[in-house]
Amino acid sequence: MKHISIRLPWHDKGWDGCVCDKPSLNSYCKGFHSVNADRIRREKKDKTEEKIAGEQFDATWKYVPPCTDTINVFGTKPVKHTHVPKKFIKDTSPKTVTIPANTSGTWPFEDMWDESGERYEAKERKENVDEFFEELNEGGNAGLIFYYCNYDNPVSGDDKKYLLAGIARIKKIYPFTFWDDIPKEQKEMFGGYVWSRMVENNPAERLRLPYQEYLKLGKDVKLIAVFAEGDLSRSFKFVAHHVSDDDAISLIDKTIAAVKKIIRQNYLPKPQIEHWKKQLLWLADIRKECWISRGLYPGLASVLKFLGMEKPDEFIRIRLKNKPLDSIRDYIFDRFEEHEKMSNEEKELLRKPKDRFLTMLRSENPNEEIKGKLCRDKLAFFDLDDEQVKNILGDKRGMYSIHSSHQAIYDNPYIIAEEYIGSNLDDFVNFEKIDHGMLPTEELGEVERIDFDDPRRLRCLMHSILREAADEGHTFLEWTTLAEKVNQWHDQNDKSGIFNFDKATWTQHKAVFSDKVVEDTADGIHSIYIKRLHDAERKIRADFLNLIKDDGIASAKIKWAEILKRNKTEPIQEQINALEKLFTSRLCVLTGTAGTGKTTVIRSLVQGIKEKQPKHDFLLLAPTGKASLILTDRIQDPAIRAITIHGFLMKQGWINGNNFSLKVSGGGKKQASTVIIDECSMIETMLFATLLRALDMNNIERMILVGDHNQLPPIGPGKIFFDLIKYLKKDEKREVRHLAELHLNWRQAKGSKASVLANHYAKVAEIPDENIFSEIEEGEYDIANPKNKSDLVIEFWKDEDDLQKQIPKILDYAVARLEKEKSSSGIGDRYNAVHGIPFEKKRNIEAINVFAPYRHTPTGVDNINLLIQETLRGKDTVDSYSKQGFVFSDKVLQVRNFTYYAWDHDVKKSVKTEDNYIPNGTLGYYLPNKKKKLLIKFPKDYDRYSYYPTKKQANEMLELGYAISVHKAQGSQFEITIMIIPEEDSNFLNREMLYTALTRSTGLQIILIQKDISILKSRLWLGKSEITKRNSSLFTTSKGIPSTEFEKYKPENLIYEVLPDLFVRSEGEKIISEELTKHEIGFHYEQPLIAADNKSFKLPDFTFKHVRKQYYWEHNGMMKDFDYAQKVEEKRKWYSENGYQNSLIETPIEGMNLTQSIKYVFENILNLKS
C-alpha cells in the first residue's frame, strides 16, 4: 500500500483555515524550502493580514492570503483559493476553486521532469500524475497522509530537517482542475490542467502535533518533534511523494513516542491530554495496518527486478494477492528452484529471473553463489528500492561504500545500514529499515525474528547513534551516555521486548562489535567509538608524534628580519622566532588571533626557503575554495598555488567520486617537501586523517599547520587543531619547539576597534579592553556619529519591521564606503559595480556580505536574502523573471560539495573535471545570458567556465548568497561584513560564532544588533562556547561538558571545585582555582565588576569573600609582553579610581614565580596555610 507525504508552508495557527495569528512574523512560509513560496513572496501583504490576524477565512474579503491552497488541512469550513497561471501560459484567466474542509492542494513535482532536469511533455506529465494518485487509490481509504514542513519552520530550520506536522487518513483524492479558457495551442503545449490536486483527509482519523501550542507556551518544542530524517527524507521531497509502509511504520513509531511525551509532560489543558490518550490507540491501529500491508517481503519486487523480471510489482500485487503474506517469497523461489511446478504463463513471466537466479546459485564462483542466496534468503525482507539492491549486489559495490563481502552481508544484513552510501546525497539505509526486516512485528504471526539484544543489532544501533554524535562534533561517546541513548532509542521508537544492554553485554559481544564499534579507556573515561573514526584519530596522533619526536631541521641562518622588511612589515622578535621555529621543526603550528600577521609570516617563510632552495617543493592546502584563493593571493608567488583539500584528495584518488565519501585506502601518496595547511580549525577528524593518508609522511621535510583555534570548530567530529595546540602547551619543551603563537595584534595596533571587540570572544591570555562595551553604549560607534572613523559601526534595531527598514539603508551605506566616486545609479547597479559583476574584468564577489547566526527565523539568513534580493533587483523583477528563485546578477552560494558539468569556453564543449569541483560555501553569481537559462559563474575561473545547473541541482545545491550563515563564511574574508544579531538568547550563538563572524572583514565591520548589547556581554563568559561541549581524544581523552552542567560555572554562581581546562584562560588560573578549592573558598570566575559610575566594568579572574572581606584576584601571566604590561597598569588604575585597590590581589608577585606567589597570598594575605 502506498501513502503520501504532503508539504505545507508553516502556519502559526495549525492550518485551521484561518489567517496566521502573527502574519508579519511568519517569514517561514516565504522561504526557499517552503511550498508555493514564489507566489507567497509576491502576494503576501503582512500589514493587511495583521488586520485580519487569526480570523476564519471569509470569501467576501477583497484581499485573499496567497496560501489558501494549503491552510485548510485541519480547517472545518471551506475556503476559496484562486490558481494563477504561470506567465508562460498566455491568455488564460485565473481559476477560483473551493478548498473543502480538511483539504489541501498538492502536486508530485518529481514526476514533472526527467533526470536531466528537462520538463516532460504535457501528456506525459498528466499520465505521471494520474499514475501517482492512482497508486494511492488502490489502497482505498486505508492510505495515510503525512503532512510535513521542509526546512522553513521554527522547529527544525537550523537543523535542516523535515518536520512531520501530522498524520491523517486519506478520505478523497479529487480529480484534476482545468483552466477554463486556455487557448488550444497553449493547452497542447502545457496541458489544460492546474498543477494542484486536492487531497481530503478524514477528520475522525488524524492528528496534528502541537508544535504551535508548545511555541506559544514557551516550551521546548524539539522534545516532541518528529523528524523525517536519514533515509526517511527521500519520501519527503518534491512537495508530494509516495511513502512506503516501511517508512510509515518508522514515522508512526516516532509519533507514538512523541505523543507519550506530550501526555507525560502534561503542559496542555486536561481535555487535550485526554484527547491525546485516545490518539495513541489510533496510532497503534494504523501501525498494525501498515505492518500487515508491508508484510514480510517489501524488497521482493526489487530483488526480482535485479534478477531481470519486468514489472515484478504488478506480478506480486495482482497474481499473488490471495496468497498468504508469509508465503509469497517461497512461492516464487520454490518455482525458480523447481520444487514446485509453474503454469505455462508463469514459465513465460518467470523464465528470465529464474535463469539468472539459478546461474548465480549454481555458479562455481562462491561470490556469485552467495549473491543468489542473498536474493533468496535475505534482501526481500528489507524495503530496499531497485537501485539499492543493484548497488549492494553489483560488482562495483565499493563505489557505494560497501567494503564488506557478500558473505558478511549474508551473515549480518545490518552491515547494509552501517556501510551503504548511494550516489544521491540522501541515498543511504537507516538502522530502522534493516531492523524492520530482522525483527518484524508480532502482528505478522509466528515468523523468524532475532532477539532485541542480538549483537549484530546492537552494533548497528550503536553505530547509528555514534554517527549522529559525530555529526554533533564528538569523536566518541562515554559508555554510560551511549548505553543511555541505546535505551532511549527503544523508548523513543516505541520498541518493547526482552532487552539487555549493559557492560556485561558489551564484554560478551566485544568481538562482534569490534569490526565497526570499538572501545578505549584512558584518563578514567570508558569511551566508545566508530572504528573508522577511532582509527582516524590514532592515525593523526601517530603521524603528529612521529614528526614531533624527530630531531628537526638544522637552521639555515636565514635573515628573517630582512625578509619581513621586504614584506613591508616592521619585524618584531616574536615573528622572527616564529619563522625560525617553522623552518627548523618537522611539525609546527602557527596560530594567533585575526590580525596578528600569520599570513605575513607564511609568505616570509616561503620566501626564505626559496632563497636557500629555489626549487623547493611546496604543497599549500586549505579547506575551502575561498581560503585557498586568499592564501595563493597573499603568498604572492606565481609559481605557488594553494588548492583545496578536497580538490587535492580528489586528484590523489582519496574521495569516492560516486558519492563524495572519504576513502580509507586505495588512493595515491603525494611527496612534498614543505606542506602548509591553512585554516586548520575547520578540518574535521576524518578529513584530516584522509589528508595525512594522501601524503608520503616519511618524506615530508616539514608540515606547518596554520589557523586560529578561537574560530568555530569543524562541522563534523573532533577538534584536531585545538587539541594539538593544547597538547603542545602542556609541555614547555614541546611548546618552545613546535608552537609559534603570535600575540601582537597588528590590526589593534593600527586602531582596529572591530578587532578589539572580536578578541573578547577569543580564549586568549591577554587582558581584553572591556571599555569598548561602554563606548558602544555611549554611541561612539553609531552609524550616525560623524566622529566615528573606526572600522566598527553599530546600529540598533527594535523589531523585525525595524530591521527590514534598516537593511536597505545599511546596504546603501556599505556600497558608498566602497565606491571610488559617488554614483546616481540605483542601489542594484551600484552593488554590482563594487562587486565587479556581471561583466567586469576584476570581479570581487566578496566585497560585501551579510551574516546571521540563524537561518529560518524572521531575522535569519533566508529571510534577509529575500529582502536584499528585492532591495537590489526590485520586487517586479523578482516576481516576473525569477528562475529557481534567482534573477540576473544575483549572488548565489553553493551549499554542497559537487562536481558539475560546465561549458569550457577554451575547448568549446561541456566538461567535467577536477576544475569543476565546486566546494560547499563557494560564492558565485547568476550571469545574464541571451538563452535566459540559469547560468552561474564561480570564481575558480570566471571567464573559462560557465555552469548550467539543472532545476534539481539548483534546488538542492544553490541558495541566494547575499546573506550567509557564519559557518559558511568561515575561511572567507570580505571587505565589509554586516552582522545581524537578534536578542534571542540561544546557545547556538556561541563565542566561537561571534568571534568568527567579527573577524571576517578586512575593512569595515557593521553590526546590526537588537535593542542593546546584552547578548554581546553574555557571551563574554567562557562557558558560552561550542568547543567546550565536544568529546575528542587526539592525545588525551577529553570529555566535553554537557550544557546541563554549565550552570555551576556561570559568573554569577559560587564555584567550589577546580575549574576545567576549557573554562580557564591559562594553566595559572587553573592552579589558583585548585588552591581556592583546597581551602574550601567559593569563588566567582570572571564575574563583572561594575565601576562606581555604572559606565564601565572589568572581569576579575576570581572574585571571592574570605573572613567577610571581598577580594578580586587577577593573574597576570604575560608581564614580559610590553602591551600586556601596559594593560595591567591601566587595569590597576581602574581598580584604584573605583575604590577597589585594597581588595586587589595580583599574581605572580614581582620576584616570585607562580607557586611562590600563591603560597605568599594564602599565608600573608588570607592568613591560611598554603
Domain assignments of the chain as residue spans, ordered by start: 3-244, 552-744, 753-890+950-1012, 1046-1165
CB 805 within 8 A of CB 1018: no
- By DSSP bridging, strand 963-965 and strand 848-852 are parallel
Average pLDDT over every residue of 563-581: 94
Q: What is the pLDDT of residue 786?
A: 93
**Options 1.10.260.40, 3.20.20.140, 3.40.50.300, 1.10.10.10; CATH of 552-744:** 3.40.50.300
* Contacts (Cβ under 8 Å, ≥6 apart) of 541: 1034, 1035
Rounded to an integer, what distance in angstroms lies between the CA atom of residue 349 and that of residue 313? 13
Query: What pLDDT score does 1169 carry?
Result: 81
Q: Is the distance from CB of 1068 to CB of 1115 less than 8 angstroms?
A: yes
What span, in angstroms and rounded, lies between the C-alpha atoms of 245 and 228?
Answer: 14
41 exposed, middle or buried (CB, 10 Å; 0-12, 13-18, 19+)?
Answer: buried
- Which residue matches cell numbers 584530516? 688
Residue 177 CA: distances (Å) to CA of 82, 195, 198, 680, 1004: 12, 8, 9, 57, 55
Three state DSSP letters for 669-681: CECCCEEEECCHH
Confidence class for position 402, pLDDT limits 50, 70, 90: very high
Strands in 958-960's sheet, in edge-to-edge order, are: 909-911, 902-904, 945-947, 936-937, 923-926, 891-894, 958-960
pLDDT of residue 283 exceeding 90, the answer is: yes
pLDDT at position 1170, please?
A: 67
Neighbours of 841 (CB within 10 A): 7
The predicted model scores a pTM of 0.90
Task: Give the model's pLDDT for residue 812.
Answer: 97
Is the pLDDT reported for residue 216 higher than 80?
A: yes
Tens-digit pLDDT profile for residues 298-307: 999 999 999 9
Distances (CA, A) of 654 to 22, 68, 927: 51, 50, 33
Could you tell me which residues are beta bridge partners of residue 520? 527
> Does 552-744 match 753-890+950-1012 in CATH topology?
yes
| Low-confidence winner among 816-830, 943-957, 963-977 (lowest mean pLDDT) | 943-957
Ranges of beta strands (E only) in 485-602 are 517-522, 525-530, 587-592
> What are the cell numbers at 1108?
567577610
Query: What is the rounded CA–CA span in Å between residue 112 and residue 129?
Result: 8
Question: Please, what is the angle between helix 455-471 and helix 479-492, to 10°?
Answer: 100
How many angstroms separate the CA atoms of 219 and 239, rounded?
29
> Whole-angstrom Cα distance, residue 859 to residue 849?
15
For 558-678, where are the E strands, in sequence order?
587-592, 618-622, 643-644, 674-677
At residue 519, what are phi and psi to the nearest 5 degrees?
-115, 160
Give the CA count within 13 Å in the CB-facing half-sphere of 660.
Answer: 17
CA 688 – CA 646 distance, rounded (Å): 11
Confidence (pLDDT) at 447: 85
What are the grid coordinates assigned to 762, written together?
577569543
When comparing pLDDT for 839 and 607, which is higher? 607
Is 905 in a helix, a strand, or coil?
coil
Distances (CA, A) of 673 to 599, 648, 677: 20, 16, 13
Which residues on adjacent β-strands are paired with residue 670?
695
Tell me which amino acid residue 199 is. V
Q: Residue 88's pLDDT is what?
A: 85
Single out the residue of 381, 383, 401, 382 nearest to residue 391, CA to CA. 401
Classified as helix, coil or strand, 198 is strand
Predicted local confidence at residue 767, as pLDDT: 65
Work out the average pLDDT over 312-320: 90
Q: What are the CA-CA distances from residue 380 to residues 53, 305, 324, 338 (Å)?
A: 52, 11, 16, 19
Name the amino acid, one letter, at 1163.
E
Rounded distance between C-alpha atoms, residue 760 and residue 772, angstroms: 10
The amino acid at residue 1095 is K
Residue reference for cell 563583572:
1088
Strands (E), 443-556: 477-478, 517-522, 525-530
pLDDT tens digits along 1024-1051: 899 988 999 999 877 787 766 777 889 9
Please write the tens of the pLDDT for every residue from 824-847. 999 999 999 999 998 888 889 999
What does the chain come to in residues? Answer: 1170
- Worst-scoring range by mean pLDDT, 207-211, 765-769, 774-778, 1054-1058? 765-769
Task: Give the closest residue to 835 by CA, choosing from 849, 845, 820, 826.
Answer: 845
Q: How many CB atoms lie within 10 A of CB 639?
A: 9
The pLDDT of residue 161: 93
3-state DSSP assignment of residue 823: coil
| Confidence bin at 1022 (pLDDT 50/70/90) | confident
Average pLDDT, integer, range 760-782:
88
pLDDT tens for each residue of 160-195: 899 999 999 999 999 999 999 999 999 989 999 999
Asked whether the beta carbons of 261 and 170 are under 8 A apart, the reply is no
- List all residues 6 or more positions away from 576 whose beta carbon is below 8 Å from its beta carbon: 560, 561, 564
Residues 584, 555 contacting (CB under 8 angstroms): yes
Judging by beta carbons within 10 Å of its beta carbon (0-12, 13-18, 19+), is residue 906 exposed, middle or buried?
exposed
DSSP per-residue string spanning 163-192: EEEEEEEEEEE----B-SS--HHHHHHH-S
CA distance 82 to 68: 8
Taking only the tens place, the pLDDT of each residue in 1051-1084 is 999 999 999 887 888 889 999 999 999 999 999 9
Q: How many CA atoms lie within 13 A of 553 on its CB side?
A: 22
Q: Class for domain 753-890+950-1012, per CATH?
A: alpha beta
Q: 221-239, pLDDT tens digit by residue?
A: 999 999 999 999 999 989 9
Instruction: Identify the weakest region by mean pLDDT among 111-120, 862-871, 1158-1167.
Output: 111-120
Q: Which amino acid is at 1064?
A: V
459: confidence class by pLDDT, cuts 50, 70, 90:
very high
Phi and psi torsions of 1094, nearest 5°: 65, 15
**Which of 144, 106, 131, 138 minimizes the C-alpha distance to 3?**
144
Percent of the chain with pLDDT over 70: 99
Average pLDDT score over residue span 326-335 = 93
Buried b (16+ CB within 10 A) or exposed e, 157-195: bbeebbbbbbbbbbbebbebbebeebeeebbeebbbbbb
Does residue 932 surpass a pLDDT of 90?
A: no
Question: What mean pLDDT, rounded, does the chain reach?
Answer: 93
